[in-house]
Amino acid sequence: MAEGSYLQAVKEAIVKLDFAGVVKATQEALNAGIDPGKVVTEGFVPGMVIVGEKFEKCEYFLSELVVAAEVMKEGMKVIQPHLKEESVKKLGKVVLATVEGDLHDIGKNIVGSLLKAQGFEVIDLGINVPPARIISAVQEHQPGILGMSALLTITMPKMGEAIESLKQTSLRQKVKVIVGGAAVTPAFAEKIGADYCAANAVEGVKKCVQWATA
């Protein structure tokens, strides 16, 4: 079987949300001698891109995005032991956090999985993260992008506090800030000084890729 056929099988397993299928296809690709990095960049990544396109066309919904990310993780478990760091080009680092007072993380987790699929190193701080901890993580990891999520209107001001702290510590010009969540609007993002407001996970990841490859 040609190399392209193995990679196509990996891609299709992700698009079809097939857990067993992605494990089988990934293992078969490795057994055929295909470079592990290539399985990621030409199997997993285009598969997740198609899932993202289906989401944008309303053919897939949030639940399918969640499942697709989990399917990709299953494939990555097979790949990981064989994967050399240099075989997958890193697009950069992203720090993600759901801000203080907010316990919602589905959207953030989907963004994290999609970013990893694209080749980003993701530092996920989790939920209920105070601005001081966000600033500390930016200082420690020096990411190119900071992503903050909030579902509740009462927690949204914490995003502004974090951005203000970035300015005070001279970190603001070194990092792009993207915000998102059900209640977050472009007008609010502009008001607090964020660089971009993502309407959904797929759009947010596209913007991060755009920044990283500019």
Tell me the C-alpha distance between 174 and 96, whole Å.
16
- DSSP label at residue 169: T
Q: State whether 152 and 109 are in the same domain.
A: yes
Tokens of 126: 């989790």
Note the pLDDT tens digit of each residue in 164-194: 999 999 999 999 999 999 889 999 999 999 9
Q: State whether 73 and 113 are in the same domain.
A: no
Q: State whether 143 and 46 are in the same domain.
A: no
Cβ atoms 79, 26 nearer than 8 A: yes
> In sequence order, which residues have a C-beta less than 8 Å from that of residue 18 and are 6 or more positions away?
12, 71
Residue with tokens 């697009």: 91
Note the pLDDT tens digit of each residue in 32-44: 999 888 898 889 9
Mean pLDDT of the chain: 92
Domain enclosing residue 201, as ranges: 92-213
CB-based burial label for 84 (10 Å; 0-12, 13-18, 19+)? exposed
Q: State whether 139 and 176 are in the same domain.
A: yes
The number of domains in the chain is 2
pLDDT surpassing 80 at residue 17:
yes
Residue 123: predicted pLDDT: 97
**What percentage of the chain has pLDDT greater than the value 70?**
97
Residue 90: predicted pLDDT: 79
CATH of residue 148's domain is 3.40.50.280
Tell me the C-alpha distance between 124 and 149, whole Å.
11
The DSSP-derived string for 106-159 is: HHHHHHHHHHHHHTEEEEE--SSB-HHHHHHHHHHH--SEEEEE-SSTTTTHHH
CB-based burial label for 210 (10 Å; 0-12, 13-18, 19+)? exposed
Q: State whether 79 and 110 are in the same domain.
A: no
Residue 36: predicted pLDDT: 87
